[in-house]
Structures are given as C-alpha cells and as structure tokens.
C-alpha cells in the first residue's frame, strides 16, 4: 500500500512541470512611451497688459501750431493698462532628452488706454489732454525650455510689433485743437513661463513678456485746424497671459 502511494505521488510531482509547460504564457506588459513636447501647436490666450509712453513735446505741438510762444521741453508719461486677447501658433522639438527648442508667432488685440493733462503755459490755465492707446501687440520668437514630464519651463525672445493711436485735444487761447496720429513700430521682446500638458493633445501655460519699442517720432495731424506736427514717443510694454494650446500630434 505504501509503495503504491509513493509511486502515485512521484508521478504527480513529475506531471506538474509538464502541465506548467503547457499553460499559456502572458506576454510582458509594454511600458508606456515617454511623454514628449515635440509637436506643432495652435491656441489662444487672454490676460492683462501695461504700457508706458514717454511723450515729448505735447506743449510745443499745440502752442507752435497755434502761433503761441513755447519755451523749454515738456515730457509727459502715460501708463495705459487693459486686457489682451489673441492667439499663437508654433512648433517645439524635444531632445537630449529633456531640452526643448521651438518657434512661436503670437498676436494680441488690446484695450490698453490712458491719458494725462499737460498745462499750456502760453494760455494758462488751459491744458491739453494727451491720450495713448495700444491696439495690438505681435511677436515672432524662438523658445528654449526644460521639460519635466508633462511640465515645461521655458523662455522666449525675438522680434515684436505694436500698433498705437495718439491724440492731443483741448482749447488754447480760445482756439480748439484736435491732433491725432497712428503709429506702428517694431521692437523686441523677452519672456518666460510654465506650461502643463493636462491631456494628450492639450496644454495650458502661464507667461510673462516684456516689450521694448525704443523712441520714434510720430506725426500727428490737427483735424480741427489742419497741419501736421511731430511728437517724440518712447514706448515699452508688459503682459501676463494665460493660454491654452492644441498640439497637432499627441504627446505620447
């Protein structure tokens, strides 16, 4: 009896490896591909902006055009603020393995507008209301960043453009005046931000940008009395924007 039991146990033990060999083997699970920022993208943004316009010489602009005496140089600073909203398009390439380079074009419409009054000494207490408005900002920049999985820290810099409208209005010595002029000027921009890929084809970004446009002479036309006169205007701008981008091929 013992011999029979021992024989059966031995045969069962020998059959276990054979049964195991006949069982199907599951294929190893493939690791998910690493996320990449390599893609072209298209998106929209919104935020706030601040500009600074150092304007000289609005007093001479008015008094000389009206035949009044002008002495010295008057400069006034206007600091408009408002909303910016627009869109962007670009492409990124990730390499080695966490660095990202790319290019981006962006354009924003703006509601930034401000004004300031300046005294007209030759016809005091009359003043001139000087108004500056920035209608749009645009840029074409290179981007450079460092990726940490679905996060991207980046900086950008390149060329920029601004579209402005200026006016100087009021009454001097009983004579009304109304100067107006448009200005489209080139400049440069630098900025930095952080982006988060919250879905396969979507990312959100927070970004700060500084714009420098230097000093230019802008010709203003007196729409009341006729004639054209120059103003010297130095301009800079800053924006903070939140954007959303659609990536044309997924991050994985």
Domain boundary assignment for the chain: 39-73+86-247
% of the chain surpassing 70 pLDDT = 86
| CATH fold for the domain made of 39-73+86-247 | Porin (2.40.160)
Residue 125: exposure state from Cβ atoms within 10 A (0-12, 13-18, ≥19): exposed
Over the Cα atoms of the chain, what is R_g?
Answer: 33
- Is the pLDDT at 14 greater than 90, yes or no? no
Can you list the positions of beta strands (E) in 26-174? 39-56, 75-78, 81-95, 99-119, 127-148, 151-172
- Is the pLDDT at 206 greater than 60, yes or no? yes
> Measured between alpha carbons, how far is 163 from 51 in angstroms, rounded to an integer?
12
Quick one: average pLDDT of 192-199? 97
Among the listed residues 214, 215, 219, 217, the one whose alpha carbon sits nearest the alpha carbon of residue 180: 219
DSSP conformational letter for 11: H
> Measured between alpha carbons, how far is 215 from 221 in angstroms, rounded to an integer?
19
Report pLDDT digits (tens) over 126-156: 999 999 999 999 999 999 999 999 999 999 9
Cα within 13 Å of Cα(2), Cβ side? 0
DSSP conformational letter for 22: H
pLDDT band at 235 (very low <50, low <70, confident <90, very high): very high
Report pLDDT digits (tens) over 24-80: 555 555 555 678 999 999 999 999 999 999 999 999 999 999 989 888 899 999 999
% of the chain surpassing 90 pLDDT = 79
Cis peptide before 171 (omega within 30 of 0): no
pLDDT band at 1 (very low <50, low <70, confident <90, very high): very low
Looking at residue 71, what is its pLDDT?
A: 87
- Is the pLDDT at 9 greater than 70, yes or no? no
Quick one: average pLDDT of 162-186? 95
């Amino acid at each position: 009896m013992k011999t029979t039991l021992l024989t059966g146990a031995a045969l069962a033990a020998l059959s276990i490896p054979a049964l195991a060999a006949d069982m199907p083997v599951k294929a190893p699970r493939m690791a998910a591909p690493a996320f990449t920022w390599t893609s072209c993208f298209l998106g929209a943004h919104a935020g706030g902006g601040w500009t600074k316009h150092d304007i000289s010489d609005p007093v001479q602009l008015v008094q000389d055009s009206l035949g009044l005496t002008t002495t010295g140089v008057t400069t006034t600073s206007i600091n408009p603020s408002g909303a910016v909203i627009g869109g962007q398009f670009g492409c990124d390439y990730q390499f080695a393995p966490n660095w990202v380079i790319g290019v981006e074009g962006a354009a924003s419409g703006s509601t930034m507008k401000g004004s300031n009054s300046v005294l007209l000494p030759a016809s005091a207490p009359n003043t001139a209301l000087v108004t500056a408005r920035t209608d749009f900002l645009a840029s074409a920049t290179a981007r450079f960043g460092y990726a940490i999985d679905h996060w991207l820290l980046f900086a950008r810099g390149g060329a920029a453009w601004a579209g402005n409208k200026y006016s100087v209005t009021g009454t001097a010595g009983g004579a009304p005046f109304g100067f107006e002029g448009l200005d489209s000027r080139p400049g440069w921009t630098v900025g930095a931000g952080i982006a988060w890929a919250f879905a396969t084809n979507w990312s959100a970004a927070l970004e700060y940008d500084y714009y420098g446009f230097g000093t230019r002479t802008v010709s203003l036309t007196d729409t009341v009395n006729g004639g054209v006169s120059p103003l010297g205007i130095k301009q800079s701008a800053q924006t903070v924007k939140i954007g959303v981008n659609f990536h044309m091929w997924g991050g994985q």
